Amino acid sequence: MSASNFENEKSANRALWNEWTDIHEKSDFYDIDGFKAGKIRLNSIEREELGDLNGKSLLHLQCHFGLNTLSLVRLGANATGVDFSEKSIALARRLAHETKIDARFVLSDIDKLPDNLTGQFDIIFTSYGVLNWLPDLKRWAEVIAHFLKPGGFFYIAEFHPFSWIFDDAADATEPRIAMPYFSDGQATEWKTEGSYVDRNAPMKQEVSYEWMHPLSEIINALIGAGLRIDSMREFPYTVYEQFPFVEQCPDGYWRMKDKPNSLPLVFSVKATKV
């Protein structure tokens, strides 16, 4: 189904993320003060797999308010961040100005990005909690291929779609299925309960919409857009307290209590434009 059929859902999600930006700006989760003091907001997974970024042009899709984009500049990249939330992009630009980090930020839906940005990039990057907001992965992959230089690579580190089937309610002390893994392409409507950084935060936007994308759909979308899959990895840990049945380990990652290697919680893919 074409993404153009989901304009109402995307509008609701944009309103949600505009509200979330105000909540997230003040949160300990994002720790803006720590970032201003020099913190790099990237995990070891993506830092290791991205490799040397010095002098590389990089496009960061669904950048929220840009802390990762700005971190990528600190690591040597010439980075451009993209997001569909007006408030997120405004905050990203303000943070770039305040920290004197030279990054560009573009306001755009992913499917419309070719109308709002020109040029090609050595690397395209996206991470954690991004694909569930996109109705059309075929178009997503086409946009990635459009903006990649020949020989450039796309990299994603993302919550494993298998993990999305589990209930994340506060009383879910062990994995229990709440969602089907396979999708009919339709949006799932969710009642808004704060934000992932504060479940009790008051919200005006009452609903949001998400789409399930199995791992095979993600991989096949990239292949269909002409990219060569170079690597795909799965990890038995996640990057925050995604569920009540995970606990933080000494390395900072979150694993299942008592059964730390039982579930795939994060995956990564690296793909080259040949």
**Residue range 196-214, pLDDT digits in tens:** 999 999 999 999 999 999 9
Q: How far is CA 151 from CA 30, 113, 120, 219, 269, in A?
A: 34, 21, 11, 18, 16
**Residue range 104-151, pLDDT digits in tens:** 999 999 999 999 999 999 999 999 999 999 999 999 999 999 999 999
Homologous superfamily, domain 3-273:
Vaccinia Virus protein VP39 (3.40.50.150)
Q: Are 105 and 132 in contact (CB under 8 A)?
A: no
Q: How far is CA 272 from CA 40, 123, 152, 199, 227, in A?
A: 26, 9, 6, 38, 5
The DSSP symbol for 187 reads P
Each domain of the chain, given as residue ranges in start order, spans 3-273
Residues 150 and 274: their CA atoms lie apart, in Å, by 6
| Nearest by Cα to 212 from 169, 165, 177 | 165
pLDDT band (50, 70, 90) for residue 3: very low
Q: Are 251 and 48 in contact (CB under 8 A)?
A: no
Average pLDDT value for the chain = 96
Residues 30 and 41: their CA atoms lie apart, in Å, by 8
